Structure 1
Amino acid sequence: MVTRSTIMDTNSFRSEHAEALDTDTRKLTDKRNKILGESYRLFYRNPVHLVRGEGQYLWDAFGTKYLDVYNNVASIGHCHPAVIDAVNAQMKMLNTHTRYLHEGILDYTEQLLTTFPQEINRAMYMCTGSEANDLAIRIARQYSGGTGIIVSQEAYHGTSDLTSGCSPALGTGQTLANTTRLVPAPDAYRVNTPDLGEWFAQQIQTQIDDMKVHGIKFAGFLADSIFSSDGVMPNPIGFLKKAVDVVHANGGIFIADEVQPGFGRTGDAFWGFARHGVVPDVVTTGKPMGNGIPVSGLFAKSDVLSAFSDQTPYFNTFGGNPVAMAAAQAVFKVIQEEQLQAHSKKVGTLLQAELTKLMNKYECVGDVRGAGLFIGFEIVKDRISKEPNKAFALDLIEELRNTHHVLTSVAGPYGNVLKLRPPFAFQEYDIDWLVGALDKSIAKLQG
């Protein structure tokens, strides 16, 4: 049986596509197949061979320029000079671990903690979001005395043993932990309810009750506050609050996975969770904080973290190293000085308005939703039935790549939501390229 992952296999190159490749691309894909592990995946039926990036643009080996509408890891833009200079300067002086004193980690932490609610006052650092979420789960279990973790139905939180056991988006080939419970995504487009917050809170309570029946004590709820892997579900603002109240009433903690919605991405707030008026117990971040340099963080209430840290020493060789901290501080400085949160809100609002015009023009565009520069563009067979149209969505991203040189991908359980999530370098003048490409591509595919 061939297993499929919604985040790895929905938009991917497979062996049946090989015959259509040009000679140079075929040589590279054949070499990958020969010497790399078979778990890897490439984007697109005709994989993109990238060689250079700058800001919101990428160039392939043939010199073709692409508009990047997907890679938020390079959050402030590919090859940003501020990050390059900061990393280069620190590499020339020192790079070691956190068992020696260094000002970099302290200066950065003091600055970043000012963006959090005052209850969140401790920091720890790792290299990846997977590591941050792994530690967060350990903390939740130590603090609560339980083991049960609740995540959304299409969540992705990492690749470690603990986090992959809480990441249903990895597909049927990855077994979920028997202490993991899933709740349906808070999908305002498809869930017919007058109060999405109340509905979602009840889903959480139902799974906590199920844990009790099976002798599992509830430890925490782990969620990406924009539910990106579920298909981008940001609204209505504030709907998450009742769910967090239920979590706390049942003795668990709320872990806000801010790898994707954090650092001003949503425009409305610096952190995605802040849009909902909630205070998490633990917050995790990932590589966008370093513009792609391997750095991640965990930020927590001191009493929650102490339940773990008073008992268990923690060490991550490269977590919080001076070079990673230099990159992170450069990113934070650029976000603040260039007012990129406000930029995300302004440009994202304009982009969403233009995308909504396409929804009004084409029956196959079922919904446009988002916050700042994080937008879901849902493809359906028709707006009355809302039946997902995965095949059309996949053809659409291929047409965008091949003809109009726009890079994006899909998300959600049906693989039919285009996840439009460009670097902050994306400008108002890039809207015409993206929306024009979508307009022409949809028209062409509809015949």
Structure 2
Amino acid sequence: MSADINQSQDLLTRRQKVMAPSYRLFYEEPVEVVRAEGVWLYGPQGERYLDFYNNVPVVGHSHPYVVERLHAQALTLNTHTRYLTAPPVELAERLLATMPSALGSVIFTCTGSEANDLAIRMSRFATGRRGVIVTDAAYHGTSDLLSGMSPVTGLPTGPDVYTIHMPEAFDRPEQFGDLVQGAIARMKADGVAPAALLVDTIFGSDGVVADPAGFLASGVAAIHAAGGLFIADEVQPGFGRTGEGMWGFQRHGVVPDIVTMGKPMGNGHPVASLVTKREIADEFVRYQRYFNTFGGNTVSCAVALAVLDVIEREQLIAHAAEVGAQLKAGLQALAQRHPIMQNVRGAGLFMSATMASGSVAGRVLNSLRRKGVLIGLAGRGNVSLKIRPPLVITKDEVTYLLDALDQVLATEA
């Protein structure tokens, strides 16, 4: 074991020497991993960690069917969308089949950041306005534009960006609309016209805000009444995670003007997309062009198609609802036994719970890591536990997490 520790320390030293300090590691004791399968990560000596954090491998780490389709397409053809090839057409058709009929155009990118950046460009072009509303703990991407729309990073908001403060839950659905209308009023007072409301539809970076289902509708109505567009960022809630449909916005009975997606779309392979209304896409292309060399390449599309196949064949949306219900009930039971954990909330396999403080949440996170269970933190001050495993998690593995968390919470009493 000491040799293993020394090897990990040597790797850490090498990493720090050559990689920029902007790269950060999770946990007080960084986790070295050499392979992964399903919902388990494995270290160099065979030690294993139950993954209740990563939404990116949505159908499980190293899913054999996804790997097989990636390999087969890479052996056959990998090229961009300047040539006529079948995979991007089929992927666009499959994605649109999961969307409301009003959404009819697909643009492929490599990352969710690229998709969100393009969504802002399109919304500002379509409306001729500049104002954008985001939540005050949002994260929407890494570009210069989006860093100003991602307050959770601690960076200042960009020009013409207005924030709203999300509670952990709403007492009535109309409250979200009140927040959006308040932001619109502040914009108008500053002489700014609203172009878009951009939200992650599970509000993951805000600590998860899921209830009551339908609360988004009042905010969407408010931005539409003011002449702006609604952009649904589905990077975190998309691809069946909420257990109530393929997309998070479906829980709220709304039709976005633009939908963005990334990360889980390729189960870890870099592929992302923007979906919008045909009239918005048609007007945009009259004056601006968008081409992404790797966006929509044939290998990425084959991988994304394989992910859709697995979600359908393994019935992972229904599975997320069933296993998510067990997870939520188990967390609520723990909250009754351990008052230091409160306000369990979420949908499907995206759960959160508020701890007494950020320092307590950090201790719980690191204690679970030492027990071989990986979760994350979210919300202002990282005060909330963030639990969002690959959708193939089993009921036995949920029990494993709950038992470990029960033991850790007992030490915090």
TM range (shorter): over 0.9
Q: 1:292 aligns with which of 247, 254, 268?
A: 268
CA distance in 1, matches of 2:361, 2:261: 29
The answer as to whether partners of 1:369 and 1:376 remain within 8 angstroms in 2 is yes
Q: 1:277 aligns with which of 244, 250, 253?
A: 253
Residue 401 (1) aligns with residue 369 (2):
yes
Distance 1:311 1:186, change over 3 A: farther
The answer as to whether partners of 1:138 and 1:308 remain within 8 angstroms in 2 is no
Deviation at 1:29, TM superposition (A): 2.1
Deviation at 1:200, TM superposition (A): 1.7
Residue 336 (1) aligns with residue 312 (2):
yes
Find the counterpart in structure 1 of residue 238 from structure 2: 262
SS in 2 for 1:310: helix
Aligned runs of 1:112-261 on 2, under 5 Å?
A: 112-171=95-154, 174-188=155-169, 194-195=171-172, 197-261=173-237
Deviation at 1:186, TM superposition (A): 4.1
SS in 1 for 2:34: strand
The answer as to whether partners of 1:67 and 1:407 remain within 8 angstroms in 2 is yes
Aligned runs of 1:29-68 on 2, under 5 Å?
A: 29-68=12-51
Structure number with the higher helix fraction is 2
Give the TM-score, by structure 2 length: 0.97
CA distance in 1, matches of 2:405, 2:147: 34
Task: Letter of the 1:341 partner, please give it.
Answer: I
Deviation at 1:208, TM superposition (A): 1.3
Give the TM-score, by structure 1 length: 0.90
Find the counterpart in structure 2 of residue 390 from structure 1: 358
Deviation at 1:31, TM superposition (A): 1.8
CA distance in 1, matches of 2:279, 2:138: 27
Deviation at 1:110, TM superposition (A): 0.9
Find the counterpart in structure 1 of residue 66 from structure 2: 83
Deviation at 1:103, TM superposition (A): 0.5
Q: Point out the more displaced range, 254-263 or 108-117.
A: 108-117
Residue 302 (1) aligns with residue 278 (2):
yes
The answer as to whether partners of 1:130 and 1:163 remain within 8 angstroms in 2 is yes
Q: 2:327 aligns with which of 343, 351, 365?
A: 351
Deviation at 1:28, TM superposition (A): 2.0
CA distance in 1, matches of 2:8, 2:161: 41
CA distance in 1, matches of 2:151, 2:281: 26
CA distance in 1, matches of 2:203, 2:69: 32
CA distance in 1, matches of 2:85, 2:390: 30
Find the counterpart in structure 1 of residue 407 from structure 2: 440
Task: Letter of the 2:228 partner, please give it.
Answer: G
CA distance in 1, matches of 2:380, 2:396: 32
The answer as to whether partners of 1:186 and 1:200 remain within 8 angstroms in 2 is no
SS in 2 for 1:50: coil
SS in 2 for 1:429: helix
SS in 1 for 2:287: coil
The answer as to whether partners of 1:286 and 1:296 remain within 8 angstroms in 2 is yes
1:200-243 CA-partner distances (Å, limit 9, x unpaired): 21211111121122222211000001100000111100011000
Deviation at 1:370, TM superposition (A): 1.1
The answer as to whether partners of 1:139 and 1:307 remain within 8 angstroms in 2 is no
Find the counterpart in structure 2 of residue 97 from structure 1: 80
What number of residue pairs does the alignment pair up? 410
The answer as to whether partners of 1:126 and 1:318 remain within 8 angstroms in 2 is yes
Task: Letter of the 1:377 partner, please give it.
Answer: A
Q: Point out the more displaced range, 40-49 or 203-212.
A: 203-212
1:287-322 CA-partner distances (Å, limit 9, x unpaired): 201101000000011112223222111100100000
SS in 1 for 2:49: strand
CA distance in 1, matches of 2:374, 2:160: 37
Gaps of 5+ in 1: 1-20, 381-388
1:4-52 CA-partner distances (Å, limit 9, x unpaired): xxxxxxxxxxxxxxxxx94222222222222111111110111000111
Deviation at 1:112, TM superposition (A): 1.6
SS in 2 for 1:155: coil
CA distance in 2, matches of 1:170, 1:62: 35
CA RMSD in angstroms comes to 1.2
CA distance in 2, matches of 1:186, 1:305: 34
1:75-128 CA-partner distances (Å, limit 9, x unpaired): 100000111000100000111111111010111111221110000111000000
The answer as to whether partners of 1:366 and 1:379 remain within 8 angstroms in 2 is yes
CA distance in 1, matches of 2:185, 2:328: 39
Gaps of 5+ in 2: none
Q: 1:316 aligns with which of 271, 292, 295?
A: 292
CA distance in 2, matches of 1:180, 1:28: 41
Deviation at 1:411, TM superposition (A): 0.2
CA distance in 2, matches of 1:24, 1:118: 54
CA distance in 2, matches of 1:175, 1:239: 28
CA distance in 2, matches of 1:44, 1:442: 18
Q: Any runs of at least 4 consecutive aligned residues in structure 1 with deviations exceeding 4 A, and if so which?
A: none
Task: Letter of the 1:79 partner, please give it.
Answer: S
SS in 1 for 2:380: coil
Find the counterpart in structure 2 of residue 4 from structure 1: none
Find the counterpart in structure 2 of residue 411 from structure 1: 378
CA distance in 2, matches of 1:399, 1:186: 28
